[in-house]
Amino acid sequence: MSKDIPIKEVIEDKKTWFNVKRFNIGKVEIARPEKVLDLKKTTKENFDRYVKPAHQFKLYEISKILSHFDKVSAISENEDAENEEFFGFAKWREDKPTITNFTFNFNPYDHMKGAGEIDYFFDMYHSFSTPFLFVPNIKIKNSDGPIIDIDNFLRFVDESFDILNSKNSKPIFVPVSIRMTGKEQDTLIEHYVKKEYFNYWFDFEGRRIETIHLGKLRHFNKKIKEMGIFDKTVSYYTNINKIISEIPAEENNPASDILASIAGANIIGVNRKPQKNIKTIPGRPPYIYIPKPPEHRFRIFNKDSYYYVKSKNKAHQIDEVNRDVNAINLDQEFNNQTTHFMKDYEIETYLNQKEMLTKFQDGALLKRLTKKKI
């Protein structure tokens, strides 16, 4: 049976959804909001040079988007080396607690009658994801329209959960798509509580934490608290767009991902840009992507201000190094938030020290986070 995550202690802020939940997942001890390290593009060389001497991460993540069912069905036909590459396996990180998750950009029921037809995919996945598992998320909709309805979404969750849960001792996290409407979200919450699913992974699908998503997260957290299960749940937020408002010419761009803890996350996953669905309009030339200069693309998170700022350090303009350095800065700041919170059991005075929160939108974002009147 799926192993529950016994939560030893829950300490909540009164004005925000910031909370400290203390629990163990296998040998991993969680006692504050934890940032994971993105291993998808991290090499051993850069890990040893930039991460290992500077910071100790408790969890590592590999996040993948699959746009075609063939990628899933091919697992049963692949050679071992192909499947190791598919699931992100590398010998040098075999000892690290690495979780893998998938976002399906298609409706699997367009290609199969039930999840049992891809049980080999789940069985292989089970071996590669430790110390816990994720039921894949399916995008509810994309720019072309709806992909799957909520009933079939929940059917897929249940079928996948049952396959992963066969002779299993790892906790299983079930997906919450940030694209869901309020009605879809309520249906999902009621179903998850009925099935006693208490571990949730919120797939931001490249979206940022801002006004509309703060409302959705508030609604979800409020509902599970009203239903009396908030103290049983663990929330994992991932695939977050790191910047709220990206303005290349500006020195400072407001951070999005640092807000995850204030919005209720217990574990904060990787960053992701939204997928571009570029269509060529008849009669017009095809779209050509022109990348921004490195100093605009590769910014560094500033713990004192909560801005992503331009860096003149050439190493910071290497994609994987930039990701690693930002993950270190973010995790250190989640620790700083917790240290402040545990002194007086409030976080608001600490947030008031962050320039971005007091100046961006004239402080409206901070007021939404702390339940103040705007």
Residue 151, domain CATH: 3.20.20.70
- From residue 296, how far is each of 250, 253, 291, 308 by CA, in Å? 9, 10, 10, 10
Q: How far is residue 272 CA from its own chain's centroid? A: 9
186-190, 266-270, 280-284: lowest mean pLDDT where?
A: 280-284
Question: What total of structural domains would you count in the chain?
Answer: 1
Residues 346 and 370: beta-carbon distance below 8 Å: no
Per-residue pLDDT, 55? 95
Per-residue model confidence (pLDDT) at position 144: 86
The gap between the terminal CA atoms of the chain, to the nearest Å, is: 47
Torsion of CA 152, 156, 158, 160, to 10 degrees: 180
> Residue 129 pLDDT > 90, yes or no?
yes
Query: Stretch 132-151: mean pLDDT, rounded?
Result: 95
pLDDT tens profile 306-364? 999 999 999 999 999 999 999 999 999 999 999 999 999 999 999 999 999 999 999 99
Nearest residue to 130 via CA among 66, 59, 82, 75: 59
Asked whether residue 145 is domain-assigned, the answer is yes
Using the predicted structure, report yes or no on whether residue 80 has a pLDDT greater than 60.
Answer: yes
Can you tell me the mean pLDDT for 120-136?
97
Structural domain for 314, as ranges? 7-369
CB atoms within 10 A of CB 32: 19
* CA dist., res. 250 & res. 310, Å (int): 9
> Using CA atoms, how far apart are residues 257 and 210, in angstroms rounded to an integer?
10
Convert the pLDDT of each residue in 162-180 to its tens digit.
Answer: 999 999 999 999 999 999 9
294 pLDDT more than 70: no
Residues with Cβ < 8 Å from 200, sequence gap 6 or more? Answer: 173, 174, 175, 176, 192, 233, 234, 235, 236
140: left (phi over 0), alpha (psi -120 to 50) or beta: alpha
In a domain, 197, yes or no: yes
What is the pLDDT confidence band of residue 148, given thresholds at 50, 70 and 90? very high
The pLDDT assigned to 274 comes to 84
Asked if residue 209 belongs to a domain, the reply is: yes
Mean pLDDT over the full length of the chain: 93
Q: DSSP 3-state assignment of 11?
A: strand
Q: Is residue 289 scored above 60 in pLDDT?
A: no
pLDDT confidence of residue 374:
46
Q: Which residues contact 92 (CB under 8 A, 6 or more apart)?
A: 44, 47
Q: Is residue 160 part of a domain?
A: yes
**CA distance readout (Å), 364 to 125, 134, 224, 348, 373:** 43, 34, 26, 14, 9
For residue 31, the tally of other CB atoms under 10 A from its CB is 16
- pLDDT for the residue numbered 75: 96
Distance of CA 337 to the CA centre of its chain: 19
**Strand 7-12 versus strand 199-203 pairing type:** unpaired
- pLDDT the model gives residue 297: 77
Contacts with 128 (C-beta within 8 Å, 6 or more apart), sequence order:
87, 88, 89, 98, 100
Q: What are 251's two structure tokens?
A: 């020195």
- Pull the structure tokens for residue 356: 């971005």
**Would you state the pLDDT for residue 292?**
62
How do beta strands 234-238 and 267-268 pair? parallel
What mean pLDDT do residues 116-139 have? Answer: 97
Is 148 among the domain residues? yes
Asked whether residue 306 is assigned to any structural domain, the reply reads: yes
Residue 2 lies in a domain: no
Whose structure tokens read 């080999």?
A: 120
Average pLDDT rounded to a whole number, residues 6-15: 97
Residue 100 forms beta bridges with which residues?
62
Cite the DSSP H helix spans in the chain: 44-46, 69-73, 80-86, 119-128, 150-164, 182-194, 211-226, 294-297, 319-344, 348-351, 355-359, 364-369
Place 216 in a pLDDT band, splitting at 50, 70 and 90. very high
Q: Could you read off the pLDDT of 17-40 as tens digits, one per residue?
A: 999 999 999 999 999 999 999 999
pTM of the model: 0.94
Does 111 score more than 70 pLDDT?
Answer: yes
Task: Give backbone dihedrals phi and psi of 251, rounded to 5 degrees, phi first.
Answer: -65, -40
Q: CB within 8 A of 124, min separation 6: which ones?
A: 75, 83, 87
pLDDT band at 295; cut points 50, 70, 90: low
Query: Does 1 reside within a domain?
Result: no
Give the pLDDT confidence score for residue 345 in this predicted structure: 97
